[in-house]
Structure 1
Amino acid sequence: MAEHDTKVGKQRGLFMTIPKTEQGPAEHLCQALGLSFPERARACPADQEKAIEFASEPVHKQQLHRKKALRYWRARARALEPERQALLEKLGDAERGVVGDSHLPVLREMFLATGLGGTEYLQRLSKDGTAIIGTLREEGVYPVKGSEAPKMSLEELYRRKEDVIQHIERVTARDAAEDRQLVWDSLKSEAGRGVVSGPFHLDKDKDQLPESFVVLRRFIVEQPKPDGTVKKRPCDDGRRGLCNEATSIHTPICLPGIDDLVSDLERLTRRILDKEGDAADVRLASWIADHSDAYKRLLAAQDVPVYIAAVSPCDGSLYLWRATTLVFGESGAVLGYGSYSSMTTCLVRRILGCPTRAYVDDYLGVHRYLDDSMLDDVLEFLRDILGQAFNYEKTQRGVVVIWLGVRISLEAFAVTLDIGDFQRKRLRDSIATALAADELAPEPAGKMAGRLSWCSSVAFGRNGRAYLPPIYARQHSQRQTVGRWPLGKRLREALQWWAGTMSSAFSRTKSLMPASRRPLVLYTDASGLYGVGAVLLDQDTQRFKWFSFHYAELMPVVRALFPDFTEEIEYWETFTFLLAAIMWRDDLRGRQTFVFIDNECSQASTTKGWSESEKCNGLIALIWRHLLAIDAEAWVERVASDDNCADPPSRGISPRKAMGAAFSAWGSDRVGFDGADFHRVWESIKQ
Structure 2
Amino acid sequence: MFDPGGANSPPSERLAQIEQHIHNARAQGRPTLGVKKDHAEVSELLLSIAKEEATITAKREHAMRQWERRARDPEVQTRNEQIIAGAAPEVKHAIQHMNLALLDEMLKHCNHEDTTLVAEITAGFRLTGRLTSNGVYRPRQDPRGRHLDKEQALDEAPKRREELDKLARACDGPYAETLWDQAQQDALDHKLLGPLDEQAMALKFGDRWLYSHRFPKPEATKTRAIDDLSQSQVNDMCVIDEHLYLDDIDSLVNTAQAAYRADAAYNVKNRQYLLWRGDHKDAYRQFPISPTDHSVASIRLPVPREKRGPTWPHSSGYYVHLRLPFGARGSMLHYSRIKEEKTMLPAVEGKLLGIKLTISPSAITMDVDEQRRQKLQEQLRVVRQNKRLSPTLAGKLAGKLGFAGTAFWGKNGRAFLRALYNRAARGRYQSGFDEKHEIARALDWFQWALVHCPRRRIPLGQQQQASTIYTDAEFSVNQQGAMTGRIGSVILLPNNATRFVELASAYRAVHEARTPLHHWLADKKALGEAHKNPEGIIVTVYIDSTAAQFCIRKGSSRQDDMNALAAETWKMSAANNITLWTEHVSSEENGADLPSRNMITACEAMGWQASPVQYDVPWRKWLAAVEAPIEGDYKRATRRRALHQPAWEVQKGKGVVEPPTVPLAGTSTKLLEDLLQEYAAGRKLASISSSTLKTYLCGARNYAKFCHAIGRAPFPPESEVVSIWLITFRRATTAKNYLTGLRFFTKVLQPSHSTASALETDAIQDSLHVLKLVTPPPEKKLGIRLSVVAMIQRRVDKLWGVAREGSKYEIKAVIEEGRFAIAGLVAYTCALRVGSELLTLYEEQISFDTEARTFSIHLPYRKNIRAPVTIERPCVCASDPTICAYHRLIFLRRLLSEADGGRLRQSFGRWFPYTLTKFNKKLRDVLGALGVPNTTAYASHSFRRGSTQDITSGGGRASLTQVLRHQQVASASYRQYLDTREAEKLEFGQLVAAICDEGAVQGAND
Deviation at 1:83, TM superposition (A): 1.6
- Identical positions, percent: 20
Instruction: Give the structure-2-normalised TM-score.
Output: 0.52
Structure 1 match to 2:502: 548
Deviation at 1:618, TM superposition (A): 2.5
Q: Is the 8 Å Cα contact of residues 490 and 610 (structure 1) preserved in structure 2?
A: yes
Q: Is the 8 Å Cα contact of residues 298 and 318 (structure 2) preserved in structure 1?
A: yes
Structure 1 match to 2:6: none
| Residues 307, 185 of structure 1: alpha-carbon distance in 2 compared, 3 angstrom cutoff | same
Which shows bigger deviation, 593-602 or 285-294?
593-602
Deviation at 1:672, TM superposition (A): 4.5
Amino acid at match of 1:288: R
Structure 1 match to 2:524: 584
| Residues 100, 391 of structure 1: alpha-carbon distance in 2 compared, 3 angstrom cutoff | farther
Are residue 165 (structure 1) and residue 203 (structure 2) matched?
no
Amino acid at match of 2:60: R
| Residues 239, 76 of structure 1: alpha-carbon distance in 2 compared, 3 angstrom cutoff | same
Which shows bigger deviation, 464-473 or 485-494?
485-494
Alpha-carbon separation, structure 2, partners of 1:682 and 1:284 = 46
| Residues 22, 91 of structure 1: alpha-carbon distance in 2 compared, 3 angstrom cutoff | farther
Q: How does 1:412-431 map to 2 (within 5 A)?
A: 412-428=361-377, 431=380
| Residues 420, 196 of structure 1: alpha-carbon distance in 2 compared, 3 angstrom cutoff | same
Match of 2:318 among 311, 317, 320: 320
Amino acid at match of 2:416: Y
Structure 1 match to 2:915: none
Alpha-carbon separation, structure 2, partners of 1:61 and 1:308 = 53
The structure carrying a bigger strand percent of its residues is: 1
Deviation at 1:651, TM superposition (A): 0.9
Structure 1 match to 2:282: 293
Q: Is the 8 Å Cα contact of residues 195 and 324 (structure 1) preserved in structure 2?
A: yes
Alpha-carbon separation, structure 2, partners of 1:118 and 1:76 = 21
Match of 2:473 among 526, 530, 536: 526
Deviation at 1:445, TM superposition (A): 4.6
Alpha-carbon separation, structure 1, partners of 2:624 and 2:274 = 41
Are residue 32 (structure 1) and residue 1 (structure 2) matched?
no
Structure 2 match to 1:622: 568
Amino acid at match of 1:501: A
Alpha-carbon separation, structure 2, partners of 1:53 and 1:114 = 18
Alpha-carbon separation, structure 1, partners of 2:572 and 2:104 = 54
Match of 1:502 among 450, 454, 463: 450
Are residue 338 (structure 1) and residue 333 (structure 2) matched?
yes
Instruction: Give the structure-1-normalised TM-score.
Output: 0.74
Are residue 390 (structure 1) and residue 328 (structure 2) matched?
no
SS at match of 2:364: strand
Alpha-carbon separation, structure 1, partners of 2:411 and 2:251 = 10
Q: How does 1:656-675 map to 2 (within 5 A)?
A: 657=603, 660-661=606-607, 668-674=610-616
Q: Per-residue CA shift, 1:8-54, capped at 9, x if unaligned?
A: xxxxxxxxxxxx99933334434434444247994533312212322
Q: Is the 8 Å Cα contact of residues 446 and 475 (structure 1) preserved in structure 2?
A: yes
SS at match of 2:518: helix
RMSD in angstroms over aligned alpha carbons?
A: 3.8
Q: Is the 8 Å Cα contact of residues 531 and 551 (structure 1) preserved in structure 2?
A: yes
Q: Is the 8 Å Cα contact of residues 416 and 509 (structure 1) preserved in structure 2?
A: yes
Q: Per-residue CA shift, 1:159-189, capped at 9, x if unaligned?
A: 3113323543xx42x631x322211111111
Alpha-carbon separation, structure 2, partners of 1:519 and 1:627 = 14
Alpha-carbon separation, structure 2, partners of 1:253 and 1:476 = 24
Structure 2 match to 1:60: 54
Structure 2 match to 1:302: 291
Alpha-carbon separation, structure 1, partners of 2:369 and 2:525 = 27
Equivalenced residue count is: 581
Alpha-carbon separation, structure 2, partners of 1:640 and 1:437 = 40
Alpha-carbon separation, structure 1, partners of 2:591 and 2:472 = 9
Structure 2 match to 1:193: 189
Alpha-carbon separation, structure 2, partners of 1:150 and 1:158 = 22
Amino acid at match of 1:498: F
Q: Is the 8 Å Cα contact of residues 439 and 485 (structure 1) preserved in structure 2?
A: yes
Alpha-carbon separation, structure 2, partners of 1:158 and 1:252 = 34
Alpha-carbon separation, structure 2, partners of 1:636 and 1:596 = 6
Alpha-carbon separation, structure 2, partners of 1:164 and 1:43 = 39
| Residues 220, 464 of structure 1: alpha-carbon distance in 2 compared, 3 angstrom cutoff | closer
Q: Per-residue CA shift, 1:657-685, capped at 9, x if unaligned?
A: 36735x6xxx642445525x665688899
Q: Per-residue CA shift, 1:503-531, capped at 9, x if unaligned?
A: 5575211111334x742332211224342
Alpha-carbon separation, structure 1, partners of 2:564 and 2:450 = 18
Are residue 653 (structure 1) and residue 599 (structure 2) matched?
yes
Q: Is the 8 Å Cα contact of residues 259 and 457 (structure 1) preserved in structure 2?
A: no
Match of 1:175 among 172, 177, 183: 172
Alpha-carbon separation, structure 1, partners of 2:67 and 2:96 = 19
Amino acid at match of 2:131: L
Alpha-carbon separation, structure 2, partners of 1:283 and 1:25 = 48
| Residues 336, 656 of structure 1: alpha-carbon distance in 2 compared, 3 angstrom cutoff | farther
Alpha-carbon separation, structure 2, partners of 1:22 and 1:255 = 47
Q: How does 1:628-643 map to 2 (within 5 A)?
A: 628-643=574-589
Are residue 258 (structure 1) and residue 249 (structure 2) matched?
yes
Where does structure 1 lack aligned partners over 5 or more consecutive residues? 1-19, 225-229, 345-387, 556-564
Alpha-carbon separation, structure 1, partners of 2:289 and 2:518 = 53
Deviation at 1:295, TM superposition (A): 1.0
Structure 2 match to 1:351: none
| Residues 87, 441 of structure 1: alpha-carbon distance in 2 compared, 3 angstrom cutoff | farther
Q: Is the 8 Å Cα contact of residues 407 and 455 (structure 2) preserved in structure 1?
A: yes
Q: Per-residue CA shift, 1:374-419, capped at 9, x if unaligned?
A: xxxxxxxxxxxxxx53335xx1412112111111101121110111
Q: How does 1:445-524 map to 2 (within 5 A)?
A: 445-461=394-410, 465-473=414-422, 476-477=425-426, 480-481=428-429, 489-491=437-439, 493-504=441-452, 506-515=454-463, 518-524=465-471
SS at match of 1:337: helix
Structure 2 match to 1:111: 107
Alpha-carbon separation, structure 1, partners of 2:285 and 2:119 = 17
Amino acid at match of 2:172: D
Alpha-carbon separation, structure 2, partners of 1:453 and 1:490 = 17
Q: How does 1:225-244 map to 2 (within 5 A)?
A: 231-244=222-235
Amino acid at match of 1:269: Y
Q: Is the 8 Å Cα contact of residues 133 and 247 (structure 1) preserved in structure 2?
A: yes
SS at match of 2:16: coil
Amino acid at match of 1:419: V
SS at match of 1:37: coil
Are residue 538 (structure 1) and residue 485 (structure 2) matched?
no
SS at match of 2:489: strand
Structure 1 match to 2:803: none
Q: Per-residue CA shift, 1:323-376, capped at 9, x if unaligned?
A: 112211x241xx4323432x34xxxxxxxxxxxxxxxxxxxxxxxxxxxxxxxx
Alpha-carbon separation, structure 1, partners of 2:331 and 2:446 = 33
SS at match of 1:287: coil
SS at match of 1:623: helix
Are residue 603 (structure 1) and residue 552 (structure 2) matched?
no
Deviation at 1:273, TM superposition (A): 1.4
| Residues 197, 131 of structure 1: alpha-carbon distance in 2 compared, 3 angstrom cutoff | same
| Residues 165, 209 of structure 1: alpha-carbon distance in 2 compared, 3 angstrom cutoff | farther
Where does structure 2 lack aligned partners over 5 or more consecutive residues? 1-12, 309-313, 477-484, 529-533, 629-1006
Q: How does 1:48-127 map to 2 (within 5 A)?
A: 48-79=42-73, 80-120=76-116, 123-124=119-120, 126=121
Deviation at 1:142, TM superposition (A): 4.5
SS at match of 1:397: coil
Deviation at 1:96, TM superposition (A): 2.2
